[in-house]
């Protein structure tokens, strides 16, 4: 497993990039959003120029990407299906994709404040949140520190304690370099922000955040008031047992374990299977949860 683990340590894509060499040749095509007619812009939020896109109509649903990722590389496959039913607001966090950086480390608390600031800028008082991987941790932090703006919460492939990751996940992280970053993610970043120095800065900040990852206290999960849907793969970075533990702690929650690796069931770029129906199926199940 270590041969697979090393390239993926600073983000949660451990079992997903077996075919990254082949996918990197076509990443520019794969990362284009399928949805036409969306709008985009930059919001002045806490010292950032924060990039966002809006697709569809209806109840607001905020999509928060994984570490090292962009809107396209995390959500390019599933976003069109979600936008058929919701007003999807996809964001890019500090130093990621088209959003600017600041002279400070990345933290989940700061990311949570930034997303809250974006919603205030867009005059959205309350929204559903869907976060994948590191984005799931940001979404959970929003539910803890900004509960009034959260309608329902969808947490995909994330953990809240270090021992919730599969064995070996953190071991080689201090030695990881940009060369270990999956090629499709590097290509996706440079496709929207052709700045190699920015790519290196993003990598380093993501890496440091994971090296310094601290467990959330159980009490914080128990404090979450929003109805929560926890989704993980049966061969994910988060273990099914840990996902079940989160579902047990969050008072109004349910759990779904799907067949697949980290992000495969939402079509994340490193894990997407050609012609797979899983992203469409996952989107339909998420819609059912949000509509209840």
Q: What is the mean pLDDT of residues 189-207?
A: 98
Residue range 131-160, pLDDT digits in tens? 999 999 999 999 999 999 999 999 999 999
pLDDT given for residue 36 in this prediction: 57
Specify the DSSP class assigned to residue 12. Answer: T
Token pair in block for residue 192: 């929207």
What proportion of the chain, given as a percentage, has pLDDT over 90? 84
pLDDT band at 111 (very low <50, low <70, confident <90, very high): very high
Q: What is the mean pLDDT of residues 106-130?
A: 98
Q: What is the mean pLDDT of residues 28-50?
A: 75
User: How many CB atoms are closer than 10 A to CB 103?
Assistant: 5
Instruction: Count structural domains, the chain.
Output: 1
Contacts of 217 (CB under 8 A, 6+ apart): none
pLDDT band at 271 (very low <50, low <70, confident <90, very high): very high
Contacts of 182 (CB under 8 A, 6+ apart): 7, 8, 13, 17, 20, 68, 270
Residue range 45-74, pLDDT digits in tens? 999 999 999 999 999 999 999 999 999 999
Q: What angle do CA 159, 132, 7 make, to 5 degrees?
A: 75
In order, the DSSP letters of 76-136 are TTTHHHHTTTSEEEEE--TTSTTS---SS---HHHHHHHHHHHHHHTT---EEEEEETHHH
**3-state SS, residue 235:** coil
Instruction: Tell me which range, 12-26, 147-161, 262-276, is most confidently predicted by mean pLDDT.
Output: 147-161
Q: What is the mean pLDDT of residues 154-174?
A: 94
pLDDT given for residue 172 in this prediction: 80
Instruction: Flag whether the pTM goes above 0.85.
Output: yes
Q: Is the pLDDT of residue 12 over 60?
A: no
Which of 67-71, 96-100, 173-177 is the least confident region? Answer: 173-177
Q: Which helix (H) or strand (E) holds 42?
A: strand 39-45
Structural domain span for residue 176: 2-291
pLDDT given for residue 4 in this prediction: 33
Q: Are strands 48-55 and 87-91 parallel, antiparallel or unpaired?
A: antiparallel
| CATH code for position 6 | 3.40.50.1820
pLDDT band at 104 (very low <50, low <70, confident <90, very high): very high
pLDDT band at 8 (very low <50, low <70, confident <90, very high): very low
- State how far the Cα of 75 lies from the Cα of 5, in Å rounded to an integer: 23
- State how far the Cα of 68 lies from the Cα of 66, in Å rounded to an integer: 6
Look over the chain and give the mean of its residue pLDDT values, rounded to a whole number. Answer: 90
pLDDT band at 274 (very low <50, low <70, confident <90, very high): confident
Q: What is the mean pLDDT of residues 226-232?
A: 98
pLDDT given for residue 37 in this prediction: 62
Token pair in block for residue 238: 């988060």
pLDDT band at 5 (very low <50, low <70, confident <90, very high): very low
Q: Is the pLDDT of residue 16 over 50?
A: no
Specify the DSSP class assigned to residue 276. Answer: -
Q: Which helix (H) or strand (E) holds 202?
A: helix 196-211
> Which ranges of 161-195 does DSSP label H, i.e. alpha helix?
183-192
Q: Is the pLDDT of residue 29 over 50?
A: no
């Amino acid at each position: 497993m270590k041969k697979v683990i090393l390239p993926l340590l600073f983000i949660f894509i451990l079992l997903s990039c077996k075919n990254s060499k082949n996918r990197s040749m076509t990443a520019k095509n794969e990362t284009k959003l399928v949805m036409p007619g969306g709008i985009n812009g930059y919001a002045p939020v806490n010292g950032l120029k924060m990039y966002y896109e809006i697709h569809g109509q209806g109840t607001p649903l905020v999509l928060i990407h994984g570490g090292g990722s962009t809107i396209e590389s995390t959500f390019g496959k599933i976003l069109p299906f979600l936008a058929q039913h919701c007003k999807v607001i996809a964001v890019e966090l500090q130093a990621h994709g088209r959003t600017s950086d600041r002279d400070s480390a990345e933290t989940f608390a700061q990311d949570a404040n930034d997303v809250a600031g974006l919603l205030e800028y867009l005059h959205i008082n309350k929204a559903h949140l869907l976060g994948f991987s590191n984005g799931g941790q940001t979404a959970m932090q929003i539910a803890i520190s900004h509960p009034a703006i959260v309608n329902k919460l969808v947490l995909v492939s994330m953990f809240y304690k270090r021992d919730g990751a599969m064995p070996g996940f953190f071991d080689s992280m201090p030695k990881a370099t940009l060369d270990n970053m999956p090629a499709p993610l590097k290509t996706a970043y440079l496709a929207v922000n052709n700045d190699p120095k920015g790519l290196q800065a993003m990598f380093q900040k993501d890496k440091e955040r994971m090296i310094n990852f601290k467990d959330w206290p159980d009490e914080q999960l128990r404090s979450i008031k929003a109805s929560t849907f926890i989704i993980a793969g049966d061969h994910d970075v988060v273990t099914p047992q840990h996902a079940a533990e989160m579902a047990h702690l969050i008072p109004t929650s349910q759990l779904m374990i799907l067949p697949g690796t980290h992000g495969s069931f939402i079509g994340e770029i490193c894990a997407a299977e050609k012609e797979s129906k899983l992203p469409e199926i996952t989107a339909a199940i998420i819609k059912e949860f949000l509509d209840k």
